[in-house]
Amino acid sequence: MKFNFIILVSLMAISCHTSGQKKDTTRGIKIKWTENLEGDFSFRKNWSYKEGIYKNSFGQISCDWDCPPEVDNMKDKNGKILKDSLQVFYKIIDTIHVPYSLKSENRMYEYSGTNFIEFKKTEKNTITGQSINNVSTHSSLNLNIDNDNCSVWVDFNSIRDLGEHIFPLDSGTIIIDKIVFNQGIIKAVFDFKFKNTLEPEEKLFWKGLIYSEIKNK
């Protein structure tokens, strides 16, 4: 009986610790709503191709990373797309222009920059957002908008030996344009500080501007 009691107490302790840890990593702040939010949002006029899509030395839009294997046979040894394969190649490779949706600066691990953040509306009518990682960026900003509340954290998935970590929000603000939001777009200014669970003495922050369409899942 004593042994069973010890197990029960231990399980309760683990449960409480896990629940508290989860709550801590998804700490929320109140959204400050405004109309006609000011700021330099001209970055949204810039664009780039999707990750791995680029213009080669022959002036062709090509793919050089994480490409479908069938396109390799459509290039010569110098990387030039064969003339008789061009039409099929561009049916496989997405060469759409992707507008920038994020302009920011931060102090994060394994981060070389990103210009993109995506937002999706869930079935529960909440809105989730995540900045897009790339081959050299492995820290992503995450937001969960639920009415007037916004939960914020950073996911860090190291490609070195640091493992996976969540950096919970310590403090911060986010201001969202209500008029544009009602049109299905997140237009926001944010300034966040995060708890560093790897090196507590090193400060982590992320601040900037967002202009991103809300998509349906």
SS3 labels along 91-107: HHCCCCCEECCEEEEEE
Residue 104 sits in the same domain as residue 145: yes
Measured CA distances, 155 to 110, 137, 168, 169 (Å): 11, 11, 9, 11
Residue 211 sits in the same domain as residue 106: yes
Check residues 124 and 5 and name the one with the higher pLDDT: 124
The predicted pLDDT at position 9 comes to 39
Residue 71 sits in the same domain as residue 146: no
Mean pLDDT across the stretch 57-72?
A: 89
205: in domain: yes
pLDDT tier at 13 (50, 70, 90 boundaries)? very low
* Whether the predicted pLDDT of 6 surpasses 50: no
Question: What domain range includes position 86?
Answer: 50-92
Across 2-6, 17-21, 83-87, the highest mean pLDDT is recorded for 83-87
* Whether the predicted pLDDT of 62 surpasses 50: yes
> How many domains are there within the chain?
2
Amino acid at 42: S
Task: Give the list of residues 6+ apart from residue 17 with CB closer than 8 angstroms, or none.
Answer: none
Weakest mean pLDDT among 17-21, 78-82, 183-187, 210-214: 17-21
The predicted pLDDT at position 12 comes to 44
Query: How much is the pTM?
Result: 0.83
57: in domain: yes
Give the integer Cα–Cα distance in Å for 29 and 74. Answer: 51
Residue 69 sits in the same domain as residue 162: no
Residue 197 sits in the same domain as residue 129: yes
107: in domain: yes
Residue 66 sits in the same domain as residue 138: no
Residue 131 sits in the same domain as residue 190: yes
Residue 71 sits in the same domain as residue 162: no
Mean pLDDT across the stretch 106-111?
A: 96
